A = this chain, B = another copy of it.
Amino acid sequence: MNKTTFYELLRERILILDGATGTQLQKKGMPQGVCPEKWILENPHAILEIQGSYKEAGSDIVYAPTFGANRWKLKTFGLEDQVREINMSLVQLSREAVGRDILVAGDLSPTGEFIKPFGERAFEEAVEVYKEQVEALLEGGVDLFVIETMIDIQEARAALLAVKETTDLPVMVSLTFGEDEKTLTGTDPITAAITLQSLGADVIGCNCSTGPKDMIHILKEMKGVATVPILVKPNAGLPVVKDGELFYDLGPEEFASFIDEFTNIGVNLIGGCCGTTPEYIRLIKERTESAVPKMWLKSKISALTSARKTVFMGENMPLVIVGERINPTGKKKLQQELLDGKLSEVRRLALEQQQKGASILDVNVGMPGIDEKKVMVNVVENLSTLSELPLCIDSSSPEVIEAALRIYPGRALLNSISGEEKKLEKLLPIAAKYGAMFIALPLDDQEIPATAEGRIKVLDRILEEAKKIGYGPQDMVVDGLVMTVSADQKASLTTLGVIEYATKHLKTSSIIGLSNISFGLPERKWLNSAFLMMAMAKGLNMAIANPSSENLMELKMAGDVLIGRDENSKNYIAYFGQSKTISKSIDEKPKEENTRTKI
């Protein structure tokens, strides 16, 4: 099944997934503690009956019972050498059960190990573990992939990359959220959705957990930002033990009473997880028969994520301050530490900038005598858990950028891609592969154009090229390319013109690095502050600056109020009325209504 056909199907109707496999196998006699994959292969009738009855109940897709069939999981049963055989055989069983009328999804699930930055295992090891399974599932003949019950965004990313680097078949990613609406490693639904769809998930969603009711809000949040279809596969409520037997407390009818709400929210694929049976699936089928599927968003989302937070850009969103200080240029102490492989100064600068109100951290470790790639990866891994702020990966080396984007457990900002032929050719595909937003620098092989018109030409070109590989204007951030006003009297007007063009015509975000403007003049803070406000009036969305700069945050808070980016002056009052710690207030996610109208 190719993606186009899959999406055509999803535009036509709501697709029905299968119900529980694990709990059904237990009913069929599978004992506790055995390796399920091995038991299935030894007792093929069980899975043939289960999946046959799901097909009969109306499932469009069954998940091959390969949930635990990755090398690390199988190793606990001493079966790590049989990854290929087990996966191939299990897929063939599923095919036998349902034939070619409905789809068989290769099922990838947690490895049971934690990978960096949340654990010790290397990211690349996990990718390899999943790749091995993906290749076997492909050999077995799956129609598509599902990565399900994921509790760590980084492991989900590893699995997703493993699929995407191996095949073009559709891939769905489904996470499990706790009662706090976060995954085990702390990712919320919006952040997960943006991170995974940016990285290339064709469907996103949630499964397992405590039942349909608690998923409603999660699905609403996901749908608000989803540029792909969404899926839900809840448990049949909570497990309860009755007369020594394990039950799930939500009966089929009760479970099915949530289906209308799911279709109203705009869920595109519905099935059941633990505790559900063919009866549940039959009712889902019944309830969705006449439902018209709701489409996913056509425009991309202007947002950056860390593993634990999303920062939105856009017309109604607060100005985003990108903390500029993690950069060794002119910082002797930081330079020495980076040379010595120490990170305490990086960590201090990160926390200080977050505390002062930065919403994004720029990370630049370029300096002589350093293995930039190694240091960059180390810093990014460290900051990914230390700070909640999304990162801006700032390097002139495409290799360093790719290494950082690959291991970063969120959607980063790439700083930057210019109109230089080689940069465009190399960096755009890298950015697109990892789904990063990127800063477009309006200069090309010939020059840094001195006029707004000249810069606009370069920007048009970059956006055109970006669109060819799937980007939208929402993914691009135009750099106003601030030059020094004391050297070129028109430098500020040129930049303001570029920002206005980005806002009104390109419909991209825009960014400026503040401090250049005032170079060589006295009392630079006034020029920097004034310029920031003027740029905001032209639609500026982001500024690379030192959030500790005098006046900067105060004026930013005021500026947000004045151009409709701070509803009811809530953030402003919070900032000035109580304390000056604003990390909470400024990057709150937008209300769902806002998110929708924005797009």
- Which A residues are within 8 Å of any B CB, using their own CB? 485-486, 489-490, 492-493, 496, 517, 521-523, 526-527, 529-531, 533-538, 551, 554-555, 557-559, 561-564, 567-569, 572-573, 576-577
Contacts and interface: CB of A to CB of B under 8 A. Distances in A.
Given A530-B555, A531-B562, A533-B555, 5 more contacts: A522-B572, A522-B576, A526-B554, A526-B576, A534-B562
Contacts of A562: 485, 492-493, 496, 517, 527, 530-531, 534
Copies of this chain per assembly = 2
Contact of A526 (B492, B534, B558): B558
Contacts of A517: 562
Of A493, A527, A564, A567, which is in contact with the most chain B CB atoms at under 10 Å from its CB?
A527
Nearest to A551: B551
Given A521-B573, A561-B527, A568 B489 contact: yes
A534 B521 contact: no
A567 B489 contact: yes
A554 B493 CA distance: 19
A538 to B, nearest CB: 6
29 contacts: A485-B569, A489-B564, A492-B562, A492-B563, A492-B564, A493-B562, A493-B563, A521-B573, A521-B576, A522-B573, A522-B576, A523-B554, A523-B576, A526-B555, A527-B562, A527-B572, A529-B558, A530-B536, A530-B555, A530-B562, A531-B562, A533-B534, A534-B536, A534-B562, A534-B563, A535-B537, A537-B537, A537-B538, A551-B551
A521 to B, nearest CB: 6
B526 A564 contact: no
Of A531, A557, A562, which is in contact with the most chain B CB atoms at under 10 Å from its CB?
A562
A82 B561 CA distance: 72
Contacts of A531: 558, 562
Contacts of A564: 489-490, 492-493
Contacts of A555: 526, 529-530, 533
Nearest to A534: B537
A405 to B, nearest CB: 35
A572 B493 contact: no
